[in-house]
Amino acid sequence: MALAQISEQTFEQEVLHSELPVMVEFGAEWCGPCKTVAPELAALAQELEGKAKIVTVDIDKSPMLARALGIQSVPTFVVFHNGQPAGGKAGAMKRAELRKLIEPFLPRTAGALKPEEVAELLKRGQISLVDTREAPVF
């Protein structure tokens, strides 16, 4: 699956106005690590289809955008949420690391809690665990 390549002209519409979180890979055609991470990004894009967008920006074709966002090395990954940069990291990464960058911004099923959120609520006494397994008939 080829990732959408966006430019300075399409950045606002594709990233800043997106209803989904967007991971942007800032790279370049001459960048070896960018080529190495491309299959990882494509697999992640397929995994997160409908939950997030993953796009690329060639810094040589969009230098003003790279400069405006302070991109100093490639590849650099920036996650945008609600039109704002919300996190990022430079350097080639495996799919699991890339997923960790965008995961906090993915839509969750209504009412779904992460284990650490449950632990915190238990600690504060705001919830109680109830065993709902069937008890033996007496």
The per-residue pLDDT for range 66-106, each reduced to its tens digit, is: 999 999 999 999 999 999 999 999 999 999 999 999 999 99
The CATH number covering residue 13 comes to 3.40.30.10
CA–CA separation, 23 and 85 (whole Å): 9
pTM of the predicted structure, to 2 decimals: 0.78
Pairing of strands 76-81, 22-27: antiparallel
Number of domains in the chain: 1
Range of the domain at 63: 4-108
Residue 64, in any domain of the structure: yes
Residue 128, in any domain of the structure: no
Catalytic residues: 31, 34
